[in-house]
């Protein structure tokens, strides 16, 4: 998705105003043959239209008719460690910010310091994910959309996060432990296989795949940039709908590199 920078918008506005003023001055000169009058009318037109635009915009800012707010939502990325959740979530977060949405980015590494005593056993991970889901739901309730990325390997806590949110979009970064191990630049899988980490999803505990996620991304077939665009396309079609509050049950989308 492309967006226009502020500098480009300002330059376009100045360019348009300059050409409009020159056109007015040329028309006045063509009809009167008086150069000084043409310049005076052109200058007056600039001042008059700037003032008119200012008051026109201020007036419309006070009129509530036609204003519809895009509802907040929770976008939840889940998948095995090293499945690319953070990379895609970061890109989607930036694309949403560029659209002017109020959005917050939450990653497991950001949230864990809030609960420093939380371990990694299945019950502790479930509690941690439930707390994170509650935090996302509170932000959503206050009009802030959330892009969250958690391994969240257990269905119980993911379903809790879904129930807490008004609009919940689950993105499953589908991959295999073997493929994730190859992408694991930090060596976490190797350390887990040596017994340095306990309860590591994909090694000594199973990752419970989502049953009905809204979006499934085939990690091996889809580059991060492409995946982020596909997620944003889904949001624009099903979630970023002005004046419409969606139900929790959203249509599913399969995402792969071969999609048009």
Give pLDDT tens digits for 214-259: 999 999 999 999 999 999 999 999 998 754 444 445 566 654 433 3
Which one has a higher pLDDT value, 15 or 217? 217
pLDDT tens digits, residue range 121-172?
999 999 999 999 999 999 999 999 999 999 999 999 999 999 999 999 999 9
- What is residue 253's predicted lDDT score, i.e. its pLDDT? 61
Would the pTM of this model clear 0.85, i.e. be above it? no
- What is residue 177's predicted lDDT score, i.e. its pLDDT? 96
pLDDT band at 39 (very low <50, low <70, confident <90, very high): confident
Q: Does position 14 have pLDDT exceeding 90, yes or no?
A: no
Task: Decide if 61 contacts 41 (C-beta within 8 A).
Answer: no
Task: Decide if 109 contacts 132 (C-beta within 8 A).
Answer: no
Q: Average pLDDT in the 165-188 region?
A: 95
Q: In this structure, how many other beta carbons lie within 10 angstroms of the beta carbon of residue 93?
A: 23
Sketch the domain layout of the chain as residue ranges: 6-62, 74-255
Mean pLDDT: which of 15-29, 83-97, 101-115 is highest?
83-97
Q: Of the given ranges (11-25, 36-50, 58-72), which has the lowest mean pLDDT?
A: 58-72
Q: What is the mean pLDDT of the chain?
A: 86
- Check if 256 is active-site: no
Closest CA to 173 of 183, 161, 185, 159: 183
Q: Does position 85 have pLDDT exceeding 90, yes or no?
A: yes
Mean pLDDT: which of 52-56, 60-64, 217-221 is highest?
217-221
Closest CA to 69 of 254, 250, 241: 241
pLDDT over 70, % of the chain: 90
Fold exhibited by the domain 74-255 = Rossmann fold (3.40.50)
Say which of 152, 185, 249, 256 is annotated catalytic. Answer: 152
């Amino acid at each position: 998705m492309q967006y226009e920078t502020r500098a480009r918008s300002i330059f376009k506005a100045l360019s348009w105003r300059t050409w409009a003023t020159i056109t007015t001055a040329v028309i006045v000169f063509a009809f009167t043959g008086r150069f000084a009058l043409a310049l005076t009318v052109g200058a007056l037109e600039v001042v008059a239209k700037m003032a008119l635009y200012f008051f026109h915009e201020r007036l419309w800012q006070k009129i509530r008719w036609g204003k519809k707010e895009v509802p907040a939502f929770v976008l939840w990325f889940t998948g095995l460690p090293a499945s690319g959740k953070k990379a895609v979530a970061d890109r989607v977060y930036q694309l949403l910010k560029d659209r002017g949405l109020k959005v917050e980015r939450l990653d497991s590494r950001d949230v864990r310091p809030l609960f420093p005593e939380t371990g990694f056993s299945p019950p502790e991970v479930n509690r941690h994910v439930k707390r994170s889901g509650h935090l996302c739901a509170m932000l959503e309730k206050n009009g802030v959309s959330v892009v969250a990325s958690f391994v969240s390997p257990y269905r119980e806590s993911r379903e809790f996060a879904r129930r807490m949110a008004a609009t919940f979009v689950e993105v499953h970064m589908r991959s295999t432990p073997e493929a994730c191990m190859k992408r694991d630049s930090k060596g976490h899988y190797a350390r887990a296989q040596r017994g340095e980490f306990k309860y590591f999803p994909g090694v000594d505990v199973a990752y419970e795949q989502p049953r009905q996620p809204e979006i499934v991304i085939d990690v091996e077939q889809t580059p991060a940039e492409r995946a982020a665009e596909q997620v944003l396309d889904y949001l624009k079609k099903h979630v970023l709908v002005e004046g419409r509050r969606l139900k929790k049950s959203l249509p599913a989308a399969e995402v792969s590199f071969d999609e048009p």
